[in-house]
Structures are given as structure tokens and as C-alpha cells.
Amino acid sequence: MEGLTKEEVKILKSLTRPRRVQDFLDAIPINFEEEGDTVLSPRRVLRENRAHCIEGALLAACVFALQGRRPLLLDLTSARHDDDHVVALFQEHGRWGAVSKTNHAVLRYREPVYRTVGELAMSYFHEYFLHDGRKTLRSYSRPVDLIRFRSRGWMVEEQNLWYIVDALNTAPHTDILRPGQGNALRRADAIEIDAGKLTQWKKQKLPD
């Protein structure tokens, strides 16, 4: 099935609901990319037991594909001083939700209560800020359906999946702010900033 082994399929198919996919991803250590940038396939995430946001989204999309759902990714793009974020989309009862792999207390799982993808994307706006409180979410993509990459074996690829990053970057995006609106935004306050600094996984110091 899509090149996955029986053991891999068993693990992924045990994640029968989106919330279980999220719980599974939360237990995987964050990928700090200590040896360089990566875009690991779901197979490599399972084997190496590490993932950052797009790698977690890819694994979630893989699970959804095995369930007969569309494997959809959503790209959230930021101002140049911040990092983009990628989540896996799903639908329940006609409403949209998202599975999100992050190391922080914000930009996390979204319950399937949103009427549109745009509404879901906007739910991240007030959480998306820098350490000085500047809000940086600027656009969101049209959902990228990974079914188009089926022939490339994205679920089990041993090389980094840069072509999926390219697909996200080149997908049509919807701007959130009007020109000049960014300067008028209120910054996150001190308690929000402190909450945003919470992390689940700490970077391990390398031995001398």
C-alpha cells in the first residue's frame, strides 16, 4: 500500500481519528535539524522518530490518505522575520480542522469547526507573533493535494521532499492584510509572549 511495509501500515492505520494522529505527533520529538535542513517522508519520521512542522503534516496527510481522505496540506506564510508553518487539513461533518506539529504552546491542533479553509487559517492569526510581539501571519495557500505526487512515492521517499516545499511555495496564496495594515496591528502582550515561549522539547547539548 503506497510502498509502506505491513508494520508501517499497522501503526498508521491505528490512528483512526484526527485527534489520535495529533496525539501521536505530539509524542514524537521535534526535529531540530542539527545536521542540516530536512523534509522527511512519513517513513523516515517513523524510523528516525523526529519531525518538525511540515514533516508532521506529511505524516498526518499520509494517515488521512490511508483512511480514504484527501491528503491536504495548508501553507501559512509569515513576514520575512518569521518562519512559515504547514498543517494537514481534514474535514468532519463538513467542517475543517487541522493537525499541526509544533514545539510551542501556540499554532497547534484545530478542531473541525471551521466552515472554510480561510476561516481556519485566520484562527492562527493572533497566535502568530515574534518574541517582541509583532504579529507576522501574512497569507495562506490554497490546499495542496498530495495525491498529485503519488507516483513519486512521497510516503516512503528516502530523499528530502523538497518538491513538496516547492509546491507549497508556488500554490496560490491569499493575502491577509491590506497594504500598510501591518504597522497598525497591536502587538501581543507580555503574557501572550511568555506563553509563546513555552516549548515541549528542549534542544540537547552536544557532548564536548
Q: Which structural domain, as residue segments, surrounds residue 81?
A: 6-196
> Which grid cell is 1?
500500500
End-to-end CA distance of the chain: 44
Question: β-pairing, 72-78 with 110-114?
Answer: unpaired
**Would you say residue 188 lies in a domain?**
yes
User: Average pLDDT by consecutive 10-residue portion of the chain (208 residues)?
Assistant: 92 98 98 97 98 98 98 97 97 98 96 98 97 96 97 98 98 96 94 94 74
**Would you say residue 183 lies in a domain?**
yes
Distance CA 8, CA 6 (A): 5
Q: 107 with 127: CB under 8 angstroms? A: yes
pLDDT of residue 204: 78
The count of domains in the chain is 1
**Would you say residue 59 lies in a domain?**
yes
**Would you say residue 57 lies in a domain?**
yes
Helix (H, G, I), strand (E, B) or coil at 100: coil
Exposed/middle/buried for 14, CB within 10 Å: 0-12, 13-18, 19+? exposed
Task: Give the CATH number, domain containing residue 180.
Answer: 3.10.620
pLDDT of residue 134: 95
On whether the pTM is more than 0.75, the answer is yes
**Would you say residue 202 lies in a domain?**
no
Sign of the C-alpha dihedral, residues 17, 23, 29, 33? positive
**Would you say residue 136 lies in a domain?**
yes
Q: What is the CA radius of gyration of the chain?
A: 17
